[in-house]
């Protein structure tokens, strides 16, 4: 399988790259700068510079790929990230349409997952303030996919409430729109196991036009 991974050098993107390469897939790792120093050397890895806000450039990069995985991050300069993140995804999707690539996996957020109270996690009183703007922006991306991107075979993958570097165990739970909580009250997934779940979905396509979540 040929995978275009946009945002390949972040905490999650780099692990998705490694997971996909480890399974024998061909990966085109797209970054803003075209540099991918943190990625492993591999004959199946191609690195390129990509401005995802330009549909024509996205279409050129995506042409010939089976699936596009987006690990695009919103701006983190203190400004409201919602408008620029949505604009990037509209551009990205337009580029995929031009290229004729219909499969899109989105590295999403946990803030839009439903809690036991019925509220979205981002709307609960104890949600960390430092992550709220980004989580609200990610929620808007999910809404955009559900309402305007029905011609694409998209999957929005939310991690657990907390995601961080850790171990690759290959053992985790999958859910839908509800926040997954472990017996000890925590909601966690390692970035490595999140990458396993994401590449699993890229290979199997079991969650077309819906959201999944991954947690222990």
Mean pLDDT of the 116-138 span = 95
Give the range of the structural domain holding residue 94, as residue numbers without chain letter.
2-215
Based on the structure, what is the number of domains in the chain?
1
Q: What are phi and psi of 3, to 5 degrees?
A: -120, 130
**pTM for the full predicted model:** 0.95
Q: How confident is the model at residue 101 (pLDDT cuts 50, 70, 90)?
A: very high
Where residue 111 sits, what CATH number does that domain have? 3.40.50.720
Q: What is the pLDDT of residues 159-177, one digit of tens each?
A: 999 999 999 999 999 999 9
Give the number of other Cβ atoms within 10 Å of residue 159's Cβ: 26
More confident residue, 26 or 42: 26
As a whole number, mean pLDDT of residues 127-141 equals 95
Residues 6+ apart with CB under 8 A from 88: 52, 53, 72
Give the 3-state secondary structure of residue 189: strand
User: 3-class SS at 152?
Assistant: coil
Q: Are 62 and 28 in contact (CB under 8 A)?
A: no
């Amino acid at each position: 399988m040929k995978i275009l991974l946009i945002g390949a050098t972040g905490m999650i993107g780099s692990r998705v790259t490694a997971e996909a390469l480890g399974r024998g897939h061909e990966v085109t790792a797209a970054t803003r700068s075209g540099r991918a120093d943190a990625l492993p050397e591999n004959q199946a890895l191609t690195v390129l510079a990509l401005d995802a806000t330009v549909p024509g450039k996205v279409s050129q990069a995506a042409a010939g790929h089976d699936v596009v995985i987006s690990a695009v991050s919103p701006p983190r300069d203190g400004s409201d990230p919602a408008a620029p993140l949505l604009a990037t995804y509209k551009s990205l999707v337009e580029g995929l349409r031009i290229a004729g690539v219909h499969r899109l996996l989105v590295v999403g957020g946990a803030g839009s997952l439903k809690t036991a109270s019925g509220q979205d996690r981002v709307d609960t009183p104890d949600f960390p303030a430092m992550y709220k703007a980004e989580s609200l922006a990610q929620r808007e991306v999910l809404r955009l996919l559900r309402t305007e991107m029905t011609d694409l075979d998209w999957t929005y993958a939310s991690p657990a409430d907390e995601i961080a570097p850790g171990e690759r165990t290959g053992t985790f739970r999958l859910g839908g729109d509800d926040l997954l909580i472990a017996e000890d009250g925590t909601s966690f997934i390692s970035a490595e196991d999140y990458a396993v779940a994401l590449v699993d979905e890229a290979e199997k396509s079991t969650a077309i036009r819906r959201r999944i979540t991954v947690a222990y």
